[in-house]
Structure 1
Amino acid sequence: MSVPVFRYLENLLGTLLGTFCGGRKQGEIMPVLTVKGLQALKAENAGDRLPDGEGLYGLVRIRAEDRVSVLFRWRFRHGGKLHDFNAGTWPGVALTQIRKNRDEAEQILSTGVNPNDHVKKRRLAAHAEVIRQAEEAKAKLAQAAAEADALRTVQDAFDTWKTSELSSRKDSGAELERAWKKDVLPSIGVKPLRDVTAGDVLAITDAIKLRGAARLARRTFGEVRQFIAWAARRDLIAIDCTAKVKKSKEFQKDTERSRVLSEAEIKALAAALPAANLQDATRRAIMLMLSTLCRVGELSRAEWTNVDLEARRWRIPADHSKNSKEHIVLLSDFAVQQFEALKTISGARRWCYPSPNEEQHIDTKSIGKQIKDRQRATPLKNRSSAVNSLRMAGGLWTPHDLRRSGATLMGELGIAGDVIEKCLNHTEENGLKKIYQRQKLEPEQAAAWQVLGQRLALLVSPDTNVIVAKFGKSA
């Protein structure tokens, strides 16, 4: 009998002994498989059963790209039945380790325990440990989040709110941030966000009311409510502390201004400007707001590249207008004269109204402050002493009242309401009109601005006697 055949019979006998005896016996045949022998296996060996002695055998399998693997099992008897124990798959598991796994299984069997049951129990225990560790990590994360919530201040949350919400506003939230740095953050900025109460918020607005700024107090409360609601939506706080505050009970409702300067007041205003100690650029701003119906913010941001005096057109970009829509002002002779005078002052610069450092336009509140200072009863420290110089018979007025006064004067001069609305760049409220009536009415607008300009030229001329109309109302 040849040696290979004899070795095969020896291994077969060893496998049978392992099968029927339930494990190795002293002096049992040693393993015969070698790593080199396994490496020599080919695709055609798929399905072959390779005995390794002592009840261990391998099943040849073919993986992707004809790569050979061998699944090793150890056959044993337990409870009167035959079982197979998976000892590992070569080459993923080394042959020496596979035999070691078989030995460990045999040791477990000697204690009367099924090795497969032991493996299942061990896997379940390992799985339970993974779950326990995951739950522990989850608990630690929750604790860390709770500690972070406890440490998160109003200032921290405001910084996030500014980046995620306020940055989309036209001024990137600059005006709101300025107001908050003055009134809100000094009071509750260092306080934990979750500890803020309605009382904290009302204490801030009450202090603003005491300064006589009721409208600012109402606006500030609205802004804080927006901030708190934002924090609640992101689960930074559990409840909205401002929800129980009734805005109508704490704050007076804003009343719509109706202040209109009469023709007589416009004439008086023109006469008062030389003695009001205003910069010439500001005097031109007053006349431009009257003659173009623009907003003070739109004029403050105006750039010379958008002013075409030859074509008599001033383009107000969408990001400068209140309704985010581009607006074209068709300049009258009177408005052109104002821009020409302004150009001699700032025409070499980018902005029609440059800031002192000339890198940006003036603050949008600058013109309003200059006008307000000249209607005070007493001067403020380091501000203009020309008090009462611009106070008119009808009462206090603001830059926005100039826009309203110009529009009202247009109406008194017979301009159709829909044309005036176009000149004001108002958004059409009627849904059907907004969809179907898209005409620009540019010829009508140009005529309206020209008529208004001609009337203003008569009113502000010191050498012209003109009969004035009576359309003004006091606020």
Structure 2
Amino acid sequence: MTAKSKSSKLIIKQKTIYSGRGENYVFTVKELQSIGVEYNGYHIHDTDGLFGTVRALKRTNGVSISFKYAYGWENKNEWFPCGTYPKDDIARIRQERDWAKEQLRNGINPREAKKSNRIKQALENQQLIEKAKHDVLKDRTFSDLFQNWLEYGLMRQHDNQEITASFNRHLIPKLGNKPIRLITMEILTDIFKHIKNGGTKKYPRNRTIVKLYSELHQLFTWAQNNPTWSSLLINGIPTAQLNIQKLLDTNYETHRTRVLTIAELHQLQKNINAEKKAYAHATNKRIALQPLNEHIQCAIWIALSTMCRIGELMLARWEHIDFNKKTWFIPIENVKGVNGKKSAHTVYLSEFSLAQFQTLKNLQPKSDWCFPSQKQPEKHVCLKSYSKIIGDRQIDFKERNKKATNRRHDNSLAVGNDKWTFHDLRRTGSTFMQKLDIPPHIINLCQNHEIRNAIDKSYQQYSYETEMAEAWQKLGNFIDKEVIFRESFLAQYF
């Protein structure tokens, strides 16, 4: 039975819709547009094996027509999807049908061919994506690498402040915008030569070069082991090809060896007491030079008698000090080192060390910190402030063209022929322990040095608490008897 539709000239035959011009004619666009929701489920016959199915769309009150091409393959009937009208243009849908017919003429199953083309196109797209990624990555700069290293590859104390300041001063201005692939050994050599040329007889920049080179080499080594960055190191690690020794003075010692003698420590104490005496007798204390802060004096003697690091000392809280057990507990977060390779530390305080902490407690009884900030007692003192104060009072050994604002500029703490630092006190205390015949492994434990041998670390679990406590007590007794220069209080001030 053949019937005309009410809304168009389309021919309807057993739920199959034909062009109004006859069964052997293709549909015009106008005819396709005339097919409404009332034909939901009907089939479309467009000639040359192209068929469609009408689906009503509730949201738009329109229809979509899914077209497919019918063909036989290996004694089976198969369908090749050609597109959906009106999402796809009817001309493109017929082109898909014609492409399928061409594949059949060539003895190829069009469905398999299309599947293969999709895979091929996906691979090509992936290759294009990878190429685009590589094109972006190949121009990534030294600053990009450094920031990535800070975020994912480096964990230093105080949010990497020290290394960030060093790189920002010496490397970022010259390398920051340079692509990683273009950084060579020659470029790095020129940078280090520039640093060396900026040195003076007093401060030849050897230490700066050694430390900066070490940190830069760590950065590039990390990059080489990271798939994101390794492909950009087209010539390998540039620092590995650089002979840093050629840039250093022949007499430069890589490791600092400064140890204060007993005579120098006597002189240091005399200098501190002389300042106290001068200030006590000053007629106008508002303009007189302030003596060394008592907190810093205690820090000096604690650093010497416990061999602690100054950063650990500045972070000490009173909850960490047990006056009854005579211990100072240093939590792992306050200890210098890499996570996984450091551990909390307990210092068994000698009578001498304990007396220094008691003096501190009397100076600032209400603060939670052993070394509180003067302006904000609820916070600890800046970790570098005491080191700067010590350095400001050894100006003969410091490179400074003009006096720093609101800072000292004298030699009131200078002793010997070289500057001294808080870390030198740690080395000095260790040397004194050697003098007292304390075994080296006990000295290392007192300094909380890592046990590098993995087998020893695993199997040797004895704590040596008693031996360490005895070692610290011997050191305290030695300092109290041999190092402290005894002068009566009255002789100093009156």
Moved more, 154-163 or 274-283: 274-283
Give the corresponding residue for 2:331.
317
Give the corresponding residue for 1:299.
313
Aligned ranges for residues 116-135 of structure 1 at < 5 Å?
120-135=108-123
Give the corresponding residue for 1:197.
184
Note closer, same or farther for the CA distance 1:433–1:118 as it changes in structure 2 (3 Å cut).
closer
Give the corresponding residue for 2:350.
332
Give the corresponding residue for 1:248.
245
Higher RCO (C-alpha under 8 Å, 6+ residues apart): 1
Give the corresponding residue for 1:154.
142
Aligned with residue 156 of structure 2, among 142, 149, 169? 169
Q: Distance in 1 between matches of 2:458 and 2:470?
A: 25
Given that 2:103 and 2:110 are in contact with CA atoms closer than 8 Å, whether structure 1 keeps it comes out as no
Give the corresponding residue for 2:476.
453
2:329 alignment partner, SS class: strand
2:407 is the counterpart of 1:408: no
2:77 alignment partner, SS class: strand
Give the CA deviation at 1:443: 2.8
Given that 2:157 and 2:336 are in contact with CA atoms closer than 8 Å, whether structure 1 keeps it comes out as no
2:387 is the counterpart of 1:368: yes
Note closer, same or farther for the CA distance 1:395–1:174 as it changes in structure 2 (3 Å cut).
closer
Note closer, same or farther for the CA distance 1:150–1:422 as it changes in structure 2 (3 Å cut).
closer
Given that 1:376 and 1:388 are in contact with CA atoms closer than 8 Å, whether structure 2 keeps it comes out as yes
2:222 is the counterpart of 1:234: no
Q: Distance in 2 between matches of 1:405 and 1:372?
A: 18
Amino acid at match of 2:450: T
Give the CA deviation at 1:437: 4.1
Note closer, same or farther for the CA distance 1:336–1:133 as it changes in structure 2 (3 Å cut).
same
Which structure is larger by alpha-carbon Rg, 1 or 2?
1
Aligned ranges for residues 74-113 of structure 1 at < 5 Å?
83-86=75-78
Given that 2:433 and 2:475 are in contact with CA atoms closer than 8 Å, whether structure 1 keeps it comes out as yes
Give a deviation string over 1:332-356, Cα, whole Å, max 9, x none: 2211121122223444333322345
2:445 is the counterpart of 1:419: no
1:242 alignment partner, SS class: helix
Structure 2, unmatched stretches of 5+, are 1-69, 81-93, 276-290, 489-494
Q: Distance in 2 between matches of 1:185 and 1:137?
A: 37
Give the CA deviation at 1:165: 0.7
Count of aligned pairs: 374
Given that 2:193 and 2:247 are in contact with CA atoms closer than 8 Å, whether structure 1 keeps it comes out as no
Given that 1:275 and 1:389 are in contact with CA atoms closer than 8 Å, whether structure 2 keeps it comes out as no
Amino acid at match of 2:257: S
Give the corresponding residue for 1:179.
166
2:409 is the counterpart of 1:391: no
Give the CA deviation at 1:174: 2.3
Moved more, 117-126 or 388-397: 117-126
Given that 2:192 and 2:247 are in contact with CA atoms closer than 8 Å, whether structure 1 keeps it comes out as no
1:243 alignment partner, SS class: helix
Give the CA deviation at 1:431: 6.4
Q: Distance in 1 between matches of 2:305 and 2:336?
A: 19
Aligned ranges for residues 18-37 of structure 1 at < 5 Å?
none
Structure 1, unmatched stretches of 5+, are 1-73, 89-103, 465-475
Q: Distance in 1 between matches of 2:450 and 2:102?
A: 83
Q: Distance in 1 between matches of 2:175 and 2:262?
A: 49
1:396 alignment partner, SS class: coil
Amino acid at match of 1:245: L
Give the CA deviation at 1:299: 0.9
Amino acid at match of 1:215: R
Note closer, same or farther for the CA distance 1:115–1:321 as it changes in structure 2 (3 Å cut).
closer
Give the corresponding residue for 1:266.
265
Note closer, same or farther for the CA distance 1:182–1:351 as it changes in structure 2 (3 Å cut).
farther
Give the CA deviation at 1:181: 1.6
Give the CA deviation at 1:305: 1.6
Amino acid at match of 1:328: T
Give the corresponding residue for 1:27.
none
User: Percent identity among equivalent residues?
Assistant: 31
Give the corresponding residue for 1:290.
304
2:395 alignment partner, SS class: coil
Note closer, same or farther for the CA distance 1:195–1:293 as it changes in structure 2 (3 Å cut).
same
Give a deviation string over 1:144-179, Cα, whole Å, max 9, x none: 22431254222222222111111x334442221121
Q: Distance in 2 between matches of 1:138 and 1:432?
A: 48
Note closer, same or farther for the CA distance 1:434–1:235 as it changes in structure 2 (3 Å cut).
closer
